[in-house]
Amino acid sequence: MNENGNYNQQPQFYGNGSNNSNNNGPYYNGNNGNYGNQPNVAEVMTVKNWLLTNFILMIPIVNIIMLFVWGFGSNTNPNKANYAKASLILAAIGIGLYIILFVVIFGFVISNLDNIE
């Protein structure tokens, strides 16, 4: 701690940046980044998991139900949950744009019915 009460610690340099025996770069200090206060990391979804996810999303009606289950379920991988929530948000934006476009076109057609004759 310096005289201002701030911690002024510089990063420690471990090695010369070349290919060391651990192959983890110049700042490797042997603890693999586990500092004890970091949250648990979600399991990585494999290609097989993503292919199965996309296959399920190709099935009509089931896809909408599964997006809600994955997006708001408690036992879902966070990566899949975020993907499902993003898909639902994009779908809502698309539906909103289609409704606005329909109202504008329908209003234009209705307003020009008098000019047809």
| Residue 17: pLDDT band with limits 50, 70, 90 | low
Q: Any residues with CB less than 8 A from the CB of 39 and at least 6 apart, and which?
A: none
Residue 80 near residue 70, CB atoms below 8 Å: yes
**More confidently predicted of 112 and 49:** 49
Task: Give the pLDDT confidence score for residue 116 in this predicted structure.
Answer: 73
pTM for the model: 0.62
**Cα separation values, 102 from 3, 81, 113, Å:** 67, 31, 16
51-102 pLDDT per residue, tens: 999 999 999 999 999 999 999 999 999 999 999 999 999 999 999 999 999 9
Q: What is the CA radius of gyration of the chain?
A: 27
DSSP state, residue 8: -
